């Protein structure tokens, strides 16, 4: 049996300690979701949002983030997975559950943290722990690259998959201030294999020193958050389909030939 990546009881405890002022990324995702839906020429009548923080989605029907989602098959024309897919032990399974909950030609839309999230903090902690402790511990959550995340949509059986990314840089006073904010977001480590003891102060201080080398002219350090957006549609006969290979009536050479 494959061991779980996430200690879900620990994740629930972390989220229970989250504070509203620190949920600005969830608020940004909710606002961006509305903008993206405005670009879709369709009115949705039975949407649902998967989120750990339903208060961010006031007025939207929501279900809790869990290994098994509380979704009714074929009940929705829009399923939004809002900034919690990165903690799933089986992200493909999560998207499959969303697909099953969609009506034919229903839309799946997800926002999840991508692989460039917190690259600065990861590098600082890795260097500090290697230097001070002489080895590395599983402290940070592995996150997928945009190409791999986009492939999950296709693997889950959704049509017309698309993936794009949005990077946001947030400035902090220092590394310890950033770590405090991550705790307030409910995003500290909930890895099943994480160390069960406090990080040595020497490691934290050395990581803070390394991170401070990236400070701007005002002494503030950058923290990158990459949000990857995934979209796909429940298969339906009305959707456009790629042409059969070999069915083209004109060659590429003809298309590129200069006109007289």
pLDDT in tens, 103-160: 999 999 999 999 999 999 989 988 888 876 666 555 566 778 898 999 999 999 999 9
Q: Where are the alpha helices (DSSP H) in the chain?
A: 8-16, 24-38, 91-101, 119-132, 146-155, 175-185, 201-212, 252-256
Fold (topology level) of 8-236:
Rossmann fold (3.40.50)
Contact 160, 138 (CB under 8 A): no
Residue 21: CB atoms within 10 A of its CB come to 9
Across the chain, mean pLDDT equals 87
- Angle of the 119-132 helix axis to the 201-212 helix axis, nearest 10: 130
* pLDDT-flagged residues of the chain (< 50): 1, 252, 255
Residue 166: CB atoms within 10 A of its CB come to 14
Q: How far apart are CA 184 and CA 2, in angstroms?
A: 31
Residue 162, C-beta contacts closer than 8 angstroms, at least 6 positions apart: 150, 153, 230, 231, 232
Q: What is the CA 170 to chain-centroid distance, rounded?
A: 17
In the prediction, which pLDDT does 246 show? 56
CA atoms 34, 100, 68, 115: torsion sign: negative
Instruction: Domain ranges for the chain, please list them.
Output: 8-236
């Amino acid at each position: 049996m494959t061991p779980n990546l996430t200690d879900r009881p620990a994740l629930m405890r972390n989220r229970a300690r989250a504070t509203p002022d620190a949920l600005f990324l969830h608020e940004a995702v909710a606002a961006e979701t509305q903008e993206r839906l405005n670009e879709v020429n369709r009115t949705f009548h039975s949407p649902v949002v998967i989120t750990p923080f339903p208060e961010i989605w006031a007025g939207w029907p929501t279900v809790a983030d869990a290994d098994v989602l509380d979704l009714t098959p074929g009940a929705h024309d829009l399923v939004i997975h809002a900034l919690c897919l990165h903690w799933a032990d089986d992200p493909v399974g999560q998207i499959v559950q969303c697909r099953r909950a969609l009506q034919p030609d229903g839309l799946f839309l997800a926002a999840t943290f991508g692989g460039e999230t917190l690259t600065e903090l990861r590098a600082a902690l890795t260097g500090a722990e290697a230097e001070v402790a002489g080895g590395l511990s599983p402290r940070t959550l592995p996150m997928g690259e945009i190409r791999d995340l986009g492939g999950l949509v296709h693997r889950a059986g959704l049509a017309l998959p698309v993936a794009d990314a949005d990077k946001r840089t947030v400035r902090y006073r220092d590394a310890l201030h950033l770590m405090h904010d991550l705790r307030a977001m409910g995003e500290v480590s909930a890895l099943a294999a994480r160390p069960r003891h406090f990080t040595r102060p020497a490691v934290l201080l050395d990581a803070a020193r390394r991170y401070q080398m990236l400070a701007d002219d005002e002494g503030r350090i950058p923290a990158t958050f990459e949000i990857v957006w995934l979209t796909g549609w429940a298969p339906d006969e009305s959707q456009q389909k790629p042409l059969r290979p070999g069915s083209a009536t004109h060659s590429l050479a003809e298309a590129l030939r200069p006109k007289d």
